[in-house]
Structure 1
């Protein structure tokens, strides 16, 4: 759709600290800088979405909301000024961190197994949280990852304590 209108929807990406644009944290993950960017995000997003949603769609939706809002808010607050941050990378890094965090906090065989599979498949992309290419939003990667850990902690961090009576 964005291609059909000549990229005009890109103005709904996250523009750090620009008044009146904070709500773009909800639109930015759906926008991409061209078809190649969209395709590059599609497979990891689909795989990590499936891995995150298979156990509980409700927790997946809650985690996605936490990642989009918290990660986007941090990009809006701390991202490079004079730039526009868009794309599903924030969600991809957030879902990877969410799966790793669920494995860490739940410590069940299934959660650990899923975390290991996610890390084997996509752990190499973690280098993307470091600044390298000025056209890539490493801030979205970093803050998406952080928000994914927060989502895992909030949604899975309280393990029942054993009854010692």
Structure 2
């Protein structure tokens, strides 16, 4: 959160110039670095604020229930989710942490089903009950919102749950 808000302050002071420089631009070599930078760039203070609570909630759930997998899951989500947006996203500049949020959401939902162990299953049920309506965010809807980031983030989160199955539950 510190990095996101530090970048937000710099971005605000520069008139959001970082978004054009470091945002993800699909199918553009110059926009490829946006895969890494997209999660820390936001379009306004309101945009960064809207992503703060879900990042804290899902990040905390991930840290508590899958501490050893958190970094790997995050890397897979940012990398594969961002690559999906870069390959298939609309021609806009894509910014924001919502792809990571939806990725963590997908990971936490899928992990309980994949591993079939009590704690991950309880987390899956809790996330599904509390945040299940988020699934509609992976569909096109609101203008100016990168549903592609939501979709590819969630898909990457589900894949991360399969890739990072814990010992005894891997193929």
Structure 1 CA distance for aligned equivalents of residues 67 and 119 of structure 2: 17
Q: CA deviation at 1:160?
A: 6.3
User: 2-side partners of 1:16 and 1:9: how far apart?
Assistant: 16
Q: 1:136 is matched with which residue?
A: 145
Q: 1:137 to 1:112 in 2, by over 3 A?
A: same
**1:96-135 residue pairs with structure 2 within 5 A?**
96-135=105-144
Match among 138, 146, 169 for residue 159 of structure 1? 169
Unaligned 5+ segments in structure 2 are 1-8
Aligned residue for 1:62?
Answer: 72
Equivalent residues, number: 160
- 1:145, 1:66 → 2: CA distance? 11
CA RMSD of aligned residues (A): 1.5
Post-superposition shift, 1:57? 3.1
CA positional deviation for 1:103: 0.5
Q: In 1, are the aligned partners of 2:65 and 2:119 still within 8 Å (CA)?
A: no
Alignment check: 8 A CA contact 2:81 2:156 kept: yes
Give the structure-2-normalised TM-score. 0.89
1:34-68 Cα shifts (integer Å, max 9, x gaps)? 01111111101111011111144331000000000
Residue 7 (structure 1) aligns with: 16
| 1:24 Cα offset (Å) | 1.3
Q: Which whole-Å CA distance do the structure 2 matches of 1:120 and 1:35 have between them?
A: 29
Aligned residue runs from structure 1 range 29-108, under 5 A:
29-81=39-91, 83-108=92-117
Work out the CA distance in 2 between the residues paired with 1:120 and 1:7: 36
Decide which structure has greater helix share. 2
d(CA) in 1 for partners of 2:68, 2:156: 17
1:23 maps to 2:36 = no
Mark the structure with the bigger radius of gyration: 1
Taking a change above 3 Å as real, the CA distance of residues 44 and 4 of structure 1, as seen in their structure-2 partners, is same
